[in-house]
Structure 1
């Protein structure tokens, strides 16, 4: 049986309606690492998670959820929402990570920053992008990645407007389809963005069908947290990024 404690602690801040980040983290968690979660608000669960709602989440006060999470003294704090900082921009994402790091004393990972870290670690410059977001957030995501030096040359979006529950309930067959539609012959990798989309479960199948790396928010966060703690044992079954963690060097 895999040990679930004793080596390190991941403290994860998760949007309060998110139903997939916690089970995803449990599946990918390295040997001896324990997981500790704190839920955060700043948006209306009954409204569509559009750019205004996610902008509000990104700007929400983290003092109380972070204070409670720090009760377990995590080694790494993970900010588990991608769109919350995509809607503010690259500089905001970096500043948020620094604020969390300064107030907590822990190493810090953000979901959007982890995507950039993973893509740069793999030497990726051109991607296909897929998400369950509204179009306006996808536009912001493309600009965010472009500012980080990563060009989006193909894009895949859901046909309908999904509420918070709908994003989390999107089935793996739909996620697989989104990923396949995001591919382009000139793309170095495909990105599946959103911590509440069931991307982790289809990473290996997508990579087999596309013949290239597939990066998703939750996988990228685990990867960067492992880099920061110098945990380099591969984690099998969740894409090339974690399969090859021992041979990848952090870019920053």
Structure 2
């Protein structure tokens, strides 16, 4: 018998314990009959993050991920979602594939990750080759993101690292602060703009920017949730959060 509330699918989501955005974002996008259940990856709230400390902090989150996987598997989900994106970009496409293998070997079920979800989202739109992206990360991590997208066949024209000072500070970046960043990234030489970093709230702003710029603007939380739904054969269209969820 199916789960009474999650009669179509039960998702298990792994997210950093400092992340306050990905869970409400996914809830906004959730069709009836789908439930999502969160397993917190223990993450000390690093203060005064720098280029030097960012990578070690992300590595710690990666090391703690499989424990969160084991925890959420006790609710018997149908599919897993990685609600943190940085670790899925490390070491390019090969690193993303390796991360998927590790999680699937530990869980025995499929997993959606942010990096490959963004690639699938970009490929859903015809003719996207040249991209720009923004993140709450530091330059050392943006280099990994650029490497990943290059491995996947995209040309990275421009990028911006917001260099947030702590993990929780990411959730305090306002849409008003992000508008000029998007404007600086856009141009005739860019086919699409991507936002990475799941604790950066951008699903609504990305949808508005897509209308204004007349090109795809992909928020990673929207892309990740979309990918998880489609991976389970759930074709519901969710309006108000951009073309990806409305059309593809």
TM-score by length of 1: 0.88
CA distance in 2, matches of 1:24, 1:137: 23
Residue aligned with 1:130, SS: strand
CA-CA distance at 1:178 after TM superposition: 2.2
Question: For residues 139 and 63 of structure 1, do their structure 2 counterparts lie closer, same or farther at Cα, with a shift above 3 Å needed?
Answer: closer
Please name the residue that 1:153 is paired with.
Answer: 157
The 8 Å contact of residues 207 and 241 in structure 2, kept in 1 or not, is answered as yes
Tell me which moved more, 93-102 or 13-22. Answer: 93-102
Please name the residue that 2:144 is paired with.
Answer: 140
Unaligned runs of 5+ in 1: 246-252
Question: For residues 47 and 156 of structure 1, do their structure 2 counterparts lie closer, same or farther at Cα, with a shift above 3 Å needed?
Answer: closer
Question: For residues 92 and 71 of structure 1, do their structure 2 counterparts lie closer, same or farther at Cα, with a shift above 3 Å needed?
Answer: same
Please name the residue that 1:248 is paired with.
Answer: none
Please name the residue that 1:10 is paired with.
Answer: 11
Q: Deviations over 1:8-31 (max 9, x none)?
A: 111100011011000000001122
The 8 Å contact of residues 43 and 54 in structure 1, kept in 2 or not, is answered as no
Summarize the alignment of residues 35-46 of structure 1 with structure 2, pairs less than 5 Å apart.
35-41=36-42, 45-46=46-47
Please name the residue that 1:233 is paired with.
Answer: 236
CA-CA distance at 1:199 after TM superposition: 0.8
Residue aligned with 2:24, SS: helix
> RMSD over aligned Cα, in angstroms?
1.9
The 8 Å contact of residues 202 and 219 in structure 2, kept in 1 or not, is answered as yes
CA-CA distance at 1:43 after TM superposition: 5.7
CA distance in 2, matches of 1:77, 1:140: 23
Size of the alignment, in residue pairs? 241
Please name the residue that 1:52 is paired with.
Answer: 56
The 8 Å contact of residues 132 and 158 in structure 2, kept in 1 or not, is answered as yes
The 8 Å contact of residues 180 and 206 in structure 1, kept in 2 or not, is answered as no
CA distance in 1, matches of 2:165, 2:48: 10
Question: Could you list the runs of 4 or more consecutive aligned residues of structure 1 that deviate by over 6 angstroms after TM superposition?
Answer: none
TM-score by length of 2: 0.90
Please name the residue that 2:224 is paired with.
Answer: 221
